[in-house]
Amino acid sequence: MRLSRYFLPVLKETPSEAQIVSHRLMLRAGMIKQASAGIYSWLPLGYKVLRRIEQIVHEEQMRAGHIPMLMPTLQSAELWRESGRYDDYGQEMLRITDRHGRDMLYGPTNEELITDIFRSHITSYRDLPLTLYHIQWKFRDEIRPRFGVMRGREFLMKDGYNFDVDKDAALHAYNRHLVSYLRSYERMGLQAIPMRADSGPIGGDDTHEFLVLAETGESEVFYDSEITDLRFGDRAVDYDSVAECQAVLEEFTSRYARTDETHDEATFHAQVPEARRRSARGIEVGQIFYFGTKYSEAMGAVVVNAKGERVPVHMGSHGIGVSRLLGAIIEASHDEKGIIWPEGVTPFHAGIVNLKQGDSAADAACEGLYKALISKGFEPLYDDRTDRAGAKFATMDLIGLPWRITVGPRGLEKGVVELTSRRNGESEEMSPEAAVDRIAQIYG
């Protein structure tokens, strides 16, 4: 993309309505624009990162054997009356009446809709296990939408639903989700810690929230500091292996880590030596639930098991806050100049800054780099405007591309350009060809 032809409405001023750094930076970097309270338009740069996060989520869900689909945003109130949640959900639910006077709602989650799909088509344990998921907009009429995309009213969620013949099989699905979530967050450059939590309106007793530690997080958390040393890393887990998935669950959840809803001071003291006790704040970027037969019993989602008995199907649901993740990543990765995107989610792989637009050698070298990167499958953002160098650097720092290639007539006389890391500011001179190779290596 050439910046002269892109739509990147960066703001010079710090927007006064934004209280936390990720919200400020998303507005300043021209990623989002508020449409109304808690509802945002995703401008091109923000949309690009959103799509990259979605892509990682899709890849990791499919790797775990979960099946993508798409359900609508608007749902009929009937299904929610069947489960009993129509009244329970209260004012958070946006209720709509259509022209025929039918009660509709903008889905805050999809347990009812997916259970209805399941009961219409599946009657035998032979069709299980089954996990379906989608990435779709949700609406919750939050009383205090704030912090930009962190607590929106309209927000993008990946929500997945497992259907299993009994509790053991459903707990394996729970563990599989935990493993796939650990992998997903690490690919986004985040450490998200599973913590025992409360299940709220979704239901069930088994639930973990995934929290990214950050001062601006809305949740208060208590944990054993040893947990922050755990990394999922590159390990290959067989998602069909009950033992392997269970081992990961045990490794990541055996130490004390709870949100304030389930925190118990006496247990904390009994289990964790004082030097390792931590209390902090965290951003909830996902949550997994096992709720057994709560919905299947209420809605008649029944299968015939191997013994020929009709049993309600065991279920769980599993959510990732896709749009919230942009805020969480920025909270975890920024400096005073702007965002620092982890390579896994960056909107462009590298920025190209032409220090002297109009200089024939600089222009030609930038064009060469731009085309070479594209031909290798990368997306560069080429700042081909006539602005002064300082302004170009400030924009690149603000929007946070992890790598910048700077091209100027003086360097070119020696046959070099400069490759700079956004994270540590270190620069290295090299030939344009070597810069392209280095980018290829980094993203290899």
226 in contact with ligand P5A (CB under 6 A): no
Measured at CB, which residue is nearest to ligand P5A? 321
Please give the C-alpha separations between residue 94 and each of 27, 99, 106, 143, in angstroms, as whole numbers: 27, 17, 6, 12
112 in contact with ligand P5A (CB under 6 A): no
Which residue in the set 217, 319, 338, 344 belongs to the binding site for ligand P5A (CB under 6 A)?
A: 319
Which residue in the set 85, 172, 196, 324 belongs to the binding site for ligand P5A (CB under 6 A)?
A: 324
Which residue in the set 46, 321, 338, 432 belongs to the binding site for ligand P5A (CB under 6 A)?
A: 321
Of 151 and 187, which has the nearer Cβ to ligand P5A?
151
- For residue 371 the two structure tokens come to 């085309």
Which residue in the set 30, 107, 194, 286 belongs to the binding site for ligand P5A (CB under 6 A)?
A: 286
Alpha carbons 258 and 278: distance in angstroms, whole number: 11
285 in contact with ligand P5A (CB under 6 A): yes
Alpha carbons 88 and 83: distance in angstroms, whole number: 10
Site size for ligand P5A (CB under 6 A): 20
Which residue in the set 176, 187, 263, 318 belongs to the binding site for ligand P5A (CB under 6 A)?
A: 318
Nearest residue to 395 via CA among 8, 7, 1, 2: 8
Of 155 and 370, which has the nearer Cβ to ligand P5A?
155
Which residue in the set 28, 48, 66, 140 belongs to the binding site for ligand P5A (CB under 6 A)?
A: 140
Alpha carbons 214 and 190: distance in angstroms, whole number: 11
DSSP E strand boundaries for 293-401: 302-304, 310-312, 314-321, 334-335, 338-339, 350-354, 380-383
φ/ψ (deg, to 5) at 171: -70, -30
Site residues (CB under 6 A) for ligand P5A, limited to 187-216 = 202
**Cα end-to-end distance, the chain, whole Å:** 21
- Binding part of the chain for ligand P5A, among 2-10, 44-52, 154-162, 183-191 by CB under 6 A, reads 154-162
Of 152 and 347, which has the nearer Cβ to ligand P5A?
152
116 in contact with ligand P5A (CB under 6 A): no
Whether residue 129 is preceded by a cis peptide bond, meaning omega within 30 degrees of 0, is yes
Per-residue HEC secondary structure of 221-289 comes to: EEEEHHHHHCCCCCCCCCCCCHHHHHHHHHHHHCCCEEECCCCCHHHHHHHCCHHHEEEEEEEEEEEEE
* DSSP of 92-124: GSEEEE-TT--EEEE-S--HHHHHHHHHHH--B
Of 22 and 323, which has the nearer Cβ to ligand P5A?
323
Of 175 and 420, which has the nearer Cβ to ligand P5A?
175
109 in contact with ligand P5A (CB under 6 A): yes
Binding site for ligand P5A (CB under 6 A): 109, 140, 142, 151-152, 155, 157, 159, 202, 284-287, 289, 317-319, 321, 323-324
